[in-house]
Structure 1
Amino acid sequence: MSLTLSQRLSVVFALLLLVCCGTSVWLQVRSSRMHELEVVQGLSRDLARHIARDTQLMDANGLKPDAVRELFSQLMLVNPSVEVYLLDKEGRIVGDAAPKDHLLRDRVDLAPLRRLFADEPLPILGDDPRSATARKVFSAAPLMVAGQPAGFLYVVLLGEAHDRLAERGATSEALNTALWAIALIALLCLVAGLTAFRLITRPLRHLTESVAAFDIDGVPAPAPTAPPSRAEPVAKDGSQDEIAVLDGAFRQMQGRLNEQWRSLTRQDQERRELVANISHDLRTPLASLHGYLEVLSMKDASLTAEERRRYLGIALDQSRKVGGLAQSLLELVRLEHGFVEPVLERFFLTDLVQDVFQKFELTAEARSISLTPLFAPSVPGVFADLGLIERVLTNLLDNALRHTPVGGDVRVALALQGRYVDVTVSDSGPGIAPQLRESVFLRPFNIGGARRDGGLGLRICHRILQLHGLKIELLDIEGQGATFQFALPVEEALAVDLLKS
């Protein structure tokens, strides 16, 4: 069975709590035990020395049995937990009052006695003669006979009687109280820990739900908040909690993904419409071209020379339209897919505008349209890609001439505005409907329900200026036709910064 993160954390916390409680109990019991032994040994440290000083237990002939029995009887009456032993110089037990078969050692290690005589920190544990392995606190003193060491008086301070009483108390109310106290503390800690884990992981659960419900169309549940404007993701409440920061980072990423997905969807829709519009534009001239060529092929013998020239002229005109559309489409593809990189150079817009006017001079004269330059005094040079900016002006003038009525006017104005030169191209045509102005640079558009040519050229202009870090705008000027404006920098450093951005 798979466990959630909260459940795994809870299980690990419960195990750690159990281990910690067990360790705490062991340390507490051991600490209390060592403290008790230290107190007992500290209080009775000099007991053996006082007994050895006040009682003559050995003489030149050795042990005095009557004195030993009398001493043992008196001590047992005063303190039943005390056990007294006489040791020789090697630590062998030579006198005791232990019941039969209770003595399990015949000698005592003298190293703890020396540590006691050297005043080392208490408690100091020594061998228990009535146990093969146990060690207990003791008091000891050397025995002297005729000024010479004859052995030791060895007093076990917590003997068998104390052990029996302690064993009965081990299952008494004191132990039960301690166990209940430990269980209660463990339960409270467990509840507090599980509550803390739930509070800590709640943002993570919300984040998980958001990830699980994330929809590529940008409809998450619950709806994400707007991404923070700062580069560093932060929690909604401004805290630095890692999980909350993670949640903020996810929401910021989610907002960017949604925006990018909407942009991609919009671009895909625009490309679909562009393909459909280009197909429509190509179908008409191709059909016309095919029709006139077919007429020439089938009725060649019956056509007069004048009719043959007229049909060929129409076919050539339609062929040029198809070629122009194909060239524009190829140019747009190269611009939008990064195959074109602007090369900055300094040039004068006044010269460039005059050159572009010369291209359209014959076309304008044929329709009695005047090309009017409106140049401010002392227009400085600008920094941009000369060839690409020439393409922009060519497309704008071509678009203006095709939609300006006979006898109309097309104007190009240049004016210095701060660090830029404003370029304005306007015509006296019907203009562009308000509902179509937002998408005028994105796809071909219609005017009055009829298709307006030139949308592809405007999109090329928009993309070229985008590559320069600039933009083109359609101005709304009452009494005029379509008016387009863009600005070019007069400083090289500014142009480089725009290009990098």
Structure 2
Amino acid sequence: MTMAWATLSRRLSVVFAVLLLVCCGASVWLQVRSNGMHEREVVQRLSLGLAAHIAENSELMKPGGLDQAAVKDLFDKLMAVNPSVEVYLLGLDGRIEAQAAPPGHLKRDRVDLGPVRKLLSGAPLPIAGDDPRSPSGTKVFSAAPLQMGGRDAGYVYVVLQGEDHDALVANVAADNVLRTTLWAMGLVALLGLLAGLAAFRLITRPLRELTAAVKRFESEGIASLEGEAPTLERLSRGSDEIAQLGQAFAQMTRRIAEQWRELTLQDQQRRELFANISHDLRTPLTSLHGYLETLLLKAGTLDEAERRRYLEIALGQSRKVGRLAQEAFELARLEYGVVKPEKESFALADLVQDVFQKFELAAEARHQRLKPDIAPGLPVVSADLGMIERVLTNLLDNAIRHTPEGGEIVVQLRAENGGVTVQVSDTGPGIPGELQKAIFTRPVFMSGSRADGTASSGGLGLVIVKRILQLHGSDIRLVQQADKGAVFRFQLGGATAG
């Protein structure tokens, strides 16, 4: 993670530095260009009447045309006084008729008259015209019409920044301008880079903190989440992309923490369940082994009544082992998703009556009363019929076995929230406080003995009940009620209209 962040930081810094240098270069270029344009406009405005003043000099003309000697003498004097100007006489077609350029310096023999006419018409300055000493260059100029005998004979064309001006500027100011420009660019780039890096550090600080939190989570695991909660809460404030990333990571860590706690709890419950099943299997197996061994060793000395009693006790222990094994197998199928609810719509009141019929004989043998308390107009429920029958069977079986003779078991059905609430209660001793928290997570064996000498037990019945109801999106609760023993309550959802 550190390497990734360093790479990101370097990339951002390099990109920012390059953009800054490009912007500085563009700014310097624009500034130099703007200064050049300003200088040319000033020079052109100051010298705008120079060509007209030359054209008014009558010594340039003689009856037969131009006085070449006078023209050359005047051009030499003007260029001696101001070496930056270059004076040309143009014909009406733009051809250069007279000039004072050194041999070999003249690169063209004609000047485009379009810029000249623009200047004479008063167009906005600066206006650049052809430079006779350059094949393709242009420079600011002054121009005026030249008349002879009252008629136009050509133009006086004065280049205001000639070769000598360019050479002087290049020799005197090139190094200074370049040095100043480079220093200015370097200083601006350095200050901009420092400001940009400081801004990057402030802007990306939440990202660095989030990266550190992810790295600690990677190295320390779930234990680091609680310590990172304040940081994640702070990073989640705001609406920018980093805040949204912090919110997503905070939600993910909370979900992972909840799932981890749930998995830890389930793992602990599963370990306890297996430990209790192992313990509860060992007890009846030890008893069964003891009675069978006694029968074997004392086969010749036991009378028929004692032999029968030993066999009944061994058979009871064998039934208990078989029941635990069957329930453990059924719970395993429910836990690992082998069995899925196949929901259908049915009347829960009819199912309760069917389950009552299965337990009528057992209840009569113990002089107990099975009492249905069913409200009228109950909605039809949607559930797996076989699974819900198993839920009611386990609850009634527990209630009958833990209710004393002459007691009463009540199954109450009430419409609630579009479904049906089921409550199974008895008049037995209830469930001791030390067992109430564990009855749905591990096998519970309560005190009390039967005629066969086995302990009265709930086994895994309630654990299976809870798991079945969880598969139906419901849950079961142990409810405290006065004048009642154990009271269990759960709800089933109503069937939606098709």
The residue type equivalent to 2:74 in the other structure is L
Q: Could you tell me how far 1:196 is from its partner in structure 2?
A: 1.1
1:218–1:258 contact (8 Å) kept in structure 2? no
1:235–1:241 contact (8 Å) kept in structure 2? no
3-state SS in 2 of match to 1:378: coil
2:107–2:135 contact (8 Å) kept in structure 1? no
The residue type equivalent to 1:389 in the other structure is I
Aligned 1:211-230 pairs, distance under 5 A: 211-214=214-217, 215-220=220-225, 222-225=227-230
2:458 counterpart of 1:457: no
Q: Name the CA shift for 1:81/1:227 in 2 (closer, same or farther; >3 Å).
A: closer
Q: Name the CA shift for 1:433/1:48 in 2 (closer, same or farther; >3 Å).
A: farther
2:129–2:139 contact (8 Å) kept in structure 1? yes
Could you tell me which runs of 5 or more consecutive residues in structure 1 were left unpaired when the two chains were aligned: 229-233, 497-501
Q: Name the CA shift for 1:425/1:55 in 2 (closer, same or farther; >3 Å).
A: farther
Aligned to 1:373: 371
1:445–1:452 contact (8 Å) kept in structure 2? no
User: Which residue of the other structure, out of 34, 39, 55, is the alignment partner of 2:37?
Assistant: 34
Aligned to 1:343: 343
Q: Could you tell me how far 1:458 is from its partner in structure 2?
A: 1.1
Deviation per residue, 1:135-154 (Å, 9 max, x gap): 42223456566788765533
Alpha-carbon distance between aligned partners in 1 of 2:263 and 2:31, rounded to the nearest angstrom: 68
Aligned 1:439-454 pairs, distance under 5 A: 439-445=438-444, 453-454=457-458
Alpha-carbon distance between aligned partners in 2 of 1:380 and 1:221, rounded to the nearest angstrom: 48
Alpha-carbon distance between aligned partners in 2 of 1:419 and 1:149, rounded to the nearest angstrom: 110
1:93–1:106 contact (8 Å) kept in structure 2? no
Aligned 1:2-401 pairs, distance under 5 A: 3-41=6-44, 44-45=47-48, 47-49=50-52, 51-52=54-55, 54-55=57-58, 57=60, 61-73=64-76, 75-76=78-79, 79-87=82-90, 93-98=96-101, 100=102, 103-111=104-112, 113-118=113-118, 123-130=126-133, 135-141=138-144, 143=146, 152-167=155-170, 170=173, 182-214=185-217, 215-220=220-225, 222-225=227-230, 236-237=236-237, 239-290=238-289, 310=309, 312-338=311-337, 339-349=339-349, 351-368=350-367, 370-375=368-373, 377-378=375-376, 380-385=378-383, 386-401=385-400
3-state SS in 1 of match to 2:229: coil
Aligned to 1:499: none
3-state SS in 2 of match to 1:84: strand
Q: Could you tell me how far 1:133 is from its partner in structure 2?
A: 7.1
Q: Name the CA shift for 1:40/1:403 in 2 (closer, same or farther; >3 Å).
A: same
1:225–1:251 contact (8 Å) kept in structure 2? no
1:92–1:107 contact (8 Å) kept in structure 2? no
Aligned 1:462-473 pairs, distance under 5 A: 462-473=466-477
Q: Name the CA shift for 1:259/1:377 in 2 (closer, same or farther; >3 Å).
A: closer
3-state SS in 2 of match to 1:85: strand
Aligned to 1:231: none
Q: Could you tell me how far 1:24 is from its partner in structure 2?
A: 1.0
Q: Could you tell me how far 1:201 is from its partner in structure 2?
A: 0.2
User: Which residue of the other structure, out of 482, 488, 493, is the alignment partner of 2:486?
Assistant: 482
Deviation per residue, 1:302-331 (Å, 9 max, x gap): 877666655554444333323322332232
Alpha-carbon distance between aligned partners in 2 of 1:202 and 1:51, rounded to the nearest angstrom: 72
The residue type equivalent to 2:468 in the other structure is I
Alpha-carbon distance between aligned partners in 2 of 1:266 and 1:199, rounded to the nearest angstrom: 42
Alpha-carbon distance between aligned partners in 1 of 2:48 and 2:435, rounded to the nearest angstrom: 107
The residue type equivalent to 1:105 in the other structure is L
Alpha-carbon distance between aligned partners in 1 of 2:187 and 2:425, rounded to the nearest angstrom: 87
Alpha-carbon distance between aligned partners in 2 of 1:59 and 1:298, rounded to the nearest angstrom: 164
Aligned to 1:424: 423
1:440–1:455 contact (8 Å) kept in structure 2? no
Alpha-carbon distance between aligned partners in 2 of 1:65 and 1:452, rounded to the nearest angstrom: 142
Alpha-carbon distance between aligned partners in 1 of 2:79 and 2:138, rounded to the nearest angstrom: 21
Q: TM-score, normalised by structure 2?
A: 0.81
Q: Name the CA shift for 1:455/1:190 in 2 (closer, same or farther; >3 Å).
A: farther
The residue type equivalent to 1:30 in the other structure is R
1:45–1:139 contact (8 Å) kept in structure 2? yes
1:210–1:221 contact (8 Å) kept in structure 2? no
Deviation per residue, 1:221-269 (Å, 9 max, x gap): 74225999xxxxx9633x2111121112111111111111111121122
2:356–2:370 contact (8 Å) kept in structure 1? no
Alpha-carbon distance between aligned partners in 2 of 1:210 and 1:306, rounded to the nearest angstrom: 75
Q: Name the CA shift for 1:432/1:259 in 2 (closer, same or farther; >3 Å).
A: same
Q: Name the CA shift for 1:320/1:57 in 2 (closer, same or farther; >3 Å).
A: farther
3-state SS in 2 of match to 1:81: coil
3-state SS in 2 of match to 1:493: coil
Alpha-carbon distance between aligned partners in 2 of 1:323 and 1:487, rounded to the nearest angstrom: 31
Alpha-carbon distance between aligned partners in 1 of 2:159 and 2:317, rounded to the nearest angstrom: 125
Aligned to 2:432: 433
Alpha-carbon distance between aligned partners in 2 of 1:227 and 1:33, rounded to the nearest angstrom: 57
Which structure has greater helix proportion? 2
3-state SS in 1 of match to 2:492: strand
Percentage of identical aligned residues: 55
Aligned to 1:402: 401
The residue type equivalent to 1:220 in the other structure is L
Deviation per residue, 1:423-460 (Å, 9 max, x gap): 22223333233354334322234769x99842521122
Aligned to 2:452: none
Q: Could you tell me how far 1:70 is from its partner in structure 2?
A: 4.4
Q: Could you tell me how far 1:33 is from its partner in structure 2?
A: 0.8
Q: Name the CA shift for 1:361/1:140 in 2 (closer, same or farther; >3 Å).
A: same
3-state SS in 1 of match to 2:158: strand
Alpha-carbon distance between aligned partners in 1 of 2:232 and 2:114, rounded to the nearest angstrom: 77
